[in-house]
Amino acid sequence: MKFEYTISNLNFSTAGEASSNIKKVLKLLGIDSKIIRRAAIATYEAEINIAIHSHGGKIILYIEEDSIKITAIDKGPGIENIELAMKEGYSTATHEIREMGFGAGMGLPNIKKCSNEFSITSEFGKYTKLEITIFI
Amino acid sequence: MKINQLLENKNFKLLNDVPYLDEEITYIRSCDLLSLVMAKGEKGDAWITVQTHSNIVAVASLLEMSCIILPESIKPEETTLIKATENDIPIISTPFDVYKTMKEFSF
């Protein structure tokens, strides 16, 4: 099964809808609630990252027999230093975004903690792609 | 304590129209960093926050929290109330600060 969601830049009123939909789909499939929680948290953080840091992007959910795969890909501007971006507490978010409670530098570490397999690739100036796998 | 029991206290006012108020509040959590709430929040939590934008509803809904409490009579944005009603998340306002709000609970 494949589901695709478009995420807009800086639209915080809709950010969270993809994760909410994914949660509903997984619930309907009778997936364990702890697995659903991890998938929902990882997707939410990925959505917020796309909304805060990118020019927009999409989230694709693949549900397979033994795993949930979530791919988050945006249209750039990409991450210059991935190692730094993965560090808890490091953030490039603006003051305004931080005042809203986002941009604490916990998004990517949170996603990694929720994943069984996690990869991040980025080309500076072009895109960032997250691939998250959660075993069912 | 259930949500409707909390609302018997006149210092706690429900701001939106939600059908179920008999859910048990299992813990009280105060935090304004959304990622931290996402990482630590649990089903049944009452969440105290000074954030008023509609994304707090996304967080509360994903974590299946029992309600959001806005302290110090802070008013939510209109879109937050609409989204909260759509998602059956009670938004409760109190003139109390965080400490006084938390003192209403014991677990």
> Is B51 in contact with B68 (CB distance < 8 Å)?
no
CB contact (8 A) between residue A12 and residue B55: yes
- Residue-level pLDDT at A13: 79
Give me the pLDDT at residue A113, please: 97
Residues of B in contact with A41 (CB under 8 A): 38-39, 62
Which residues 6+ apart lie within 8 Å of B28 measured at CB? B45, B46, B48, B101, B102, B105, B107
Total number of residues shown for chain A: 136
Complex prediction ipTM? 0.91
pLDDT in tens, B6-65: 999 999 999 999 998 999 999 999 999 999 999 999 999 999 999 999 999 999 999 999
Delimit the domains of chain B by residue range: 3-103
Q: Which residues pair with B2 in a beta bridge?
A: B24
DSSP A96-132: HHHHTT--SS-HHHHHHHH-SEEEEEEETTTEEEEEE
In chain A, the percentage of residues whose pLDDT exceeds 90 is 96
- In chain B, residues with a C-beta closer than 8 Å to the C-beta of A110 are 35, 38-39
pLDDT at residue A11 is higher than 90: no
pLDDT, residue B63, reads 96
Mean pLDDT over A52-60 rounds to 96
Cα angle B50, B93, B51; round to 5: 15
For domain A2-135, give the CATH number.
3.30.565.10
For B3-103, which CATH class?
alpha beta
* Contact B33/A at CB under 8 A: yes
Nearest residue of chain B to residue A100 (CA atoms): B51
Average pLDDT value over all residues in chain A = 96
Q: Does B14 touch chain A (CB under 8 A)?
A: no
Domain ranges of chain A: 2-135
* A93-122 pLDDT per residue, tens: 999 999 999 999 999 999 999 999 999 999
Taking one residue from A and the other from B, the number of pairs with CB-CB distance under 8 angstroms is 65
Longest dimension (CA), chain A: 43
Predicted local confidence at residue A47, as pLDDT: 96
Backbone conformation region of residue A100, classed left if phi is above 0, alpha if psi is from -120 to 50, else beta: alpha
Residue given tokens 């129209």 in the structure block = B17
Kind of pairing between the strands at B67-70 and A127-135: unpaired
- Grouping H, G, I as helix, E, B as strand and the rest as coil, residue B84 is helix
